[in-house]
Chains A and B, each alone.
Chain A
Amino acid sequence: MSQTTDTQTDSLTLVQAVRDGLRGEMARDDSVIVMGEDVGENGGVFRATQGLIDEFGEERVVDTPLAESGIVGTAIGMAAYGMRPVPEIQFMGFVYPAFDQIVSHAARLRTRSRGAFTCPMVVRAPYGGGIRAPEHHSESKEAFFVHEPGLKVVIPSTPYDTKGLLAAAIRDPDPVVFLEPKLIYRAFREEVPADPYTVELGEAAVRREGSDVSVFTWGAMTRPTMEAAENLAGDVDVEVVDLRTLSPLDEETIVESFKKTGRAVVVHEAPKTGGLAGEVIATIQEEALLYQEAPIERVTGFDVPYPLYALEDYYLPEPARIEDGIRDVVEF
């Protein structure tokens, strides 16, 4: 479901689409508040909120002290009383002091209060590697949040989806963890409608249709996966599915694609063990076992803390490694 009322578009990068999405929602709903460390005049570490303070003022674009737990906890209280806060965490790896508030409270407020309280809050954070910085500045720990019932987890891979998914997340009555692939914040542009619109949460997108093998991925890994698929074209007919929302998973699209191809590869940059690939594979096993023609391959990061520059290129899945995974599955 995409709701557009205007055909006018702007050519935006992904990070500009974040800003445009925030601006659109702030303009249409006074209860939307952006808050976080240096989100105001500085416009955020990655400039995602640049200019919003000029447009909406300090009351709605709030610079906070360095206090992740306090920022997110405060947002929960605001959300419970009718506001729609969008706290920013500067890097995903800085979220852990706030992990308790997200997991213990944001995710459970509705169920604890039998729906009397809701928590319409979106925690935004850039995630993932490729910027030559270690550990906290590069990690990809979406599985932590997917594991918590009561949270929704979204990772866009295109400017169009970014704006639409962010709008949907902000309008959603429940807490959403919105992870932004900073590696591709400025990697390419896309025509994005100027007016607000939504891209529905919980729906995967088939980026490339194919009949030999399904490759499931999301976020920054979508591009190298598409590149691998193109490199193999003529030889292997690859279907690429961008999951977009990791919780709730679009099981229907995953299963449908697998039933068509009977073979699958899952690509993510998070460490392999406990990563979301396992969940995708389990879903396939439960729903489409008899369609399976080969073991399902995982092309992922390794089970180590996110390494520094010199090892980063080995760590992140890139087209050649993804191609190898696809070939293994197809040639089984």
Chain B
Amino acid sequence: MNSASEYDLDLSDEDRIELLRTMRRIREFESTVQNKFADAEIPGFLHLYIGQEAIAAGVCHALDERDHLTSTHRGHGHCIARGLATDRMAAELYGKETGYCRGKGGSMHIADVEAGMLGANGIVAGGIPIACGAAVSAQMRDSDEVAVSFFGDGALSEGAFHESFNLAGTWNLPLVGIIENNQYGEMTGLDEQHPPAALDDLTIYGEPYGAARDRVDGMDVEAVYGAAKQAVERGRTGGGPSLVECVAYRFEGHHEGDSQFYRDEGEYDEWKQKDPLLTYPEKLIDEGVITEEEYAEMEAGIETEIEEAIEFARESDLPDPSEAYEGLYSEGGGHA
């Protein structure tokens, strides 16, 4: 498993502060909506990204505006790292008219064409073939855009993953698959879902498809960035698909309300030592990139941002019932 030192990093202090800010914003958003869900303000299902922030932040930092993404049911982190506005995201979670999907998608379907965000996805592995298509489009237009698909370790068991990477390898597509190995497929551990040969390196699934493989510490945002940057560069320059495994840990349940009976004793505490929201601020402070006061100030600003996002969501209107038919077909009006 690679650490940041394995990569040729080109991160300025400003970049590193930005990575920290992104992770902190994701954490704040997630912790806040977790509370609002517990208070029954947010209905439906909620799958939190807490613990995996370094992956979204690191990968998205390696992308340009022109690139494309598909996300998962655990997609808030990807959206924030991609630059989506937390107020419109919160509004979507609240089912409000001002949300990214006008209150029709909720937590699991946030999409934003302008950001190249093809959508979170309620179906495990559902986004991978779509990213494949975005990559085909990029290739056919002779652009140097890449398509990145985030998915969990569980998605590697789905046919959609294998079909997509077979296509990507055969057609030499600029597709970057980011495996977010958070140790669990829903409530079942890795070792019950994959054969022994895959357990130590899930990128083995990319081998027959000719994907370039990399395995990286998913709790280290700079390592993730380094791996993603290489994979993206490969895609941009006609090098074909990559598969990057980010080894991380999901600090919360599969969904809110999950009893988490499956965790081994001490496992959580062990991973907690590697929590990127503990280690990275400490590192940047130690290295003099940011002072404790500056970080406290950053945190306060983020807390305000997320509070305001929730307020925006609360105050927004519910969609009118007629909205259900809007956007269904192109002639039916549709979203601007």
A residues sitting closer than 8 Å to B (CB atoms) are 37-38, 40-42, 63, 65-70, 93-94, 96-97, 131-137, 302, 304-305, 307-311, 314-315
Chain B residues, Cβ within 8 Å of A37: 185-186, 188
Label chain B's interface by main secondary structure: loop
**CB <8 Å contact, A311 and B123:** no
Question: In the complex where A65-B157, A67-B157 touch, is A311 in contact with B323 (Cβ < 8 A)?
Answer: yes
Chain B residues, Cβ within 8 Å of A134: 44, 104-106, 108-109, 122
**CB <8 Å contact, A97 and B159:** yes
CB distance from A239 to the nearest CB of B (A): 31
**CB <8 Å contact, A42 and B106:** no
Q: Output the residue of A69, A132, A304, A308 with the most chain B CB within 10 A.
A: A308
**CB <8 Å contact, B261 and A41:** yes
Chain B residues, Cβ within 8 Å of A94: 123
**CB <8 Å contact, A67 and B324:** no
A97 CA to B321 CA in the complex, in Å?
Answer: 31
User: Of the candidates A131, A135, A310, which one forms a contact with B319 in the assembled complex, judged by CB atoms under 8 Å apart?
Assistant: A310
Chain B residues, Cβ within 8 Å of A42: 186-188, 261-262
Chain A residues, Cβ within 8 Å of B109: 134-135
**CB <8 Å contact, A311 and B186:** no
**CB <8 Å contact, A137 and B45:** yes
Chain A residues, Cβ within 8 Å of B122: 93, 134-137
5 closest A-B pairs by CB? A65-B157, A132-B43, A65-B193, A133-B44, A310-B318
CB distance from A183 to the nearest CB of B (A): 14
User: 23 interchain pairs (CB within 8 A)?
Assistant: A37-B185, A38-B186, A41-B261, A66-B124, A66-B154, A66-B185, A66-B186, A67-B158, A93-B123, A132-B44, A133-B44, A133-B45, A134-B105, A134-B108, A136-B122, A137-B45, A305-B104, A308-B95, A308-B104, A310-B318, A311-B103, A311-B324, A315-B324
CB distance from A301 to the nearest CB of B (A): 10
Chain A residues, Cβ within 8 Å of B325: 302, 304
**CB <8 Å contact, A314 and B95:** no
Q: Answer whether residue B160 sits at the interface, using C-beta atoms and an 8 A cutoff.
A: yes
Q: Output the residue of A97, A133, A134, A309 with the most chain B CB within 10 A.
A: A134
A38 CA to B124 CA in the complex, in Å?
Answer: 14
Question: In the complex where A38-B188, A310-B96, A310-B103 touch, is A69 in contact with B159 (Cβ < 8 A)?
Answer: yes
A37 CA to B261 CA in the complex, in Å?
Answer: 15
Chain A residues, Cβ within 8 Å of B124: 66
Chain A residues, Cβ within 8 Å of B319: 310-311
Chain A residues, Cβ within 8 Å of B185: 37, 65-66
Which residue in chain A gives the minimum CB-CB distance to B154?
A: A66
Q: Output the residue of A42, A67, A70 with the most chain B CB within 10 A.
A: A67
A132 CA to B42 CA in the complex, in Å?
Answer: 10
**CB <8 Å contact, B103 and A308:** yes
Chain B residues, Cβ within 8 Å of A308: 44, 95, 103-106
Q: Answer whether residue B36 sits at the interface, using C-beta atoms and an 8 A cutoff.
A: no
Chain A residues, Cβ within 8 Å of B261: 41-42
Which residue in chain A gives the minimum CB-CB distance to B160?
A: A97
A40 CA to B125 CA in the complex, in Å?
Answer: 22
**Scoring B residues 302 to 329 as 1 if CB is less than 8 Å from chain A, else 0, what string do you get?**
0000000000000000110101110010
CB distance from B331 to the nearest CB of A (A): 15
A66 CA to B162 CA in the complex, in Å?
Answer: 13
A315 CA to B323 CA in the complex, in Å?
Answer: 12
A307 CA to B185 CA in the complex, in Å?
Answer: 27
A311 CA to B44 CA in the complex, in Å?
Answer: 13
CB distance from B260 to the nearest CB of A (A): 10
CB distance from A95 to the nearest CB of B (A): 11
Give chain B interface residues in 85-134, CB to chain A under 8 Å. Answer: 95-96, 103-106, 108-109, 122-125
CB distance from B330 to the nearest CB of A (A): 15
CB distance from B16 to the nearest CB of A (A): 35
Chain B residues, Cβ within 8 Å of A137: 44-45, 122
**CB <8 Å contact, A307 and B157:** no
Which residue in chain B gives the minimum CB-CB distance to A134?
A: B106
A332 CA to B192 CA in the complex, in Å?
Answer: 61
Chain A residues, Cβ within 8 Å of B104: 134, 305, 307-308, 311
**CB <8 Å contact, B188 and A97:** no
**CB <8 Å contact, B44 and A309:** yes
Q: Output the residue of B104, B109, B261, B323 with the most chain A CB within 10 A.
A: B104
**CB <8 Å contact, A66 and B324:** no
Chain B residues, Cβ within 8 Å of A67: 157-159
**CB <8 Å contact, A310 and B160:** no
Which residue in chain B gives the minimum CB-CB distance to A42?
A: B187
Give chain B interface residues in 270-285, CB to chain A under 8 Å. Answer: none
Give chain B interface residues in 131-190, CB to chain A under 8 Å. Answer: 154-155, 157-160, 185-188
A172 CA to B324 CA in the complex, in Å?
Answer: 40
Q: Answer whether residue B66 sits at the interface, using C-beta atoms and an 8 A cutoff.
A: no
**CB <8 Å contact, B106 and A314:** no
Chain A residues, Cβ within 8 Å of B95: 308-310
A307 CA to B95 CA in the complex, in Å?
Answer: 10
CB distance from A325 to the nearest CB of B (A): 18
Give chain B interface residues in 242-269, CB to chain A under 8 Å. Answer: 261-262
A302 CA to B158 CA in the complex, in Å?
Answer: 31
Chain A residues, Cβ within 8 Å of B123: 93-94, 96-97, 136
A131 CA to B105 CA in the complex, in Å?
Answer: 15
**CB <8 Å contact, A314 and B324:** yes
Chain A residues, Cβ within 8 Å of B45: 133, 137
CB distance from A144 to the nearest CB of B (A): 16
Give chain B interface residues in 16-59, CB to chain A under 8 Å. Answer: 43-45
Chain B residues, Cβ within 8 Å of A69: 158-159
**CB <8 Å contact, B96 and A66:** no
CB distance from A50 to the nearest CB of B (A): 11
Chain B residues, Cβ within 8 Å of A96: 123
Given A38-B188, A69-B158, A305-B328, 17 more pairs with CB closer than 8 A:
A63-B192, A65-B188, A66-B125, A66-B158, A66-B186, A67-B158, A70-B157, A96-B123, A97-B158, A134-B106, A136-B122, A302-B325, A308-B103, A309-B44, A310-B95, A310-B319, A311-B104
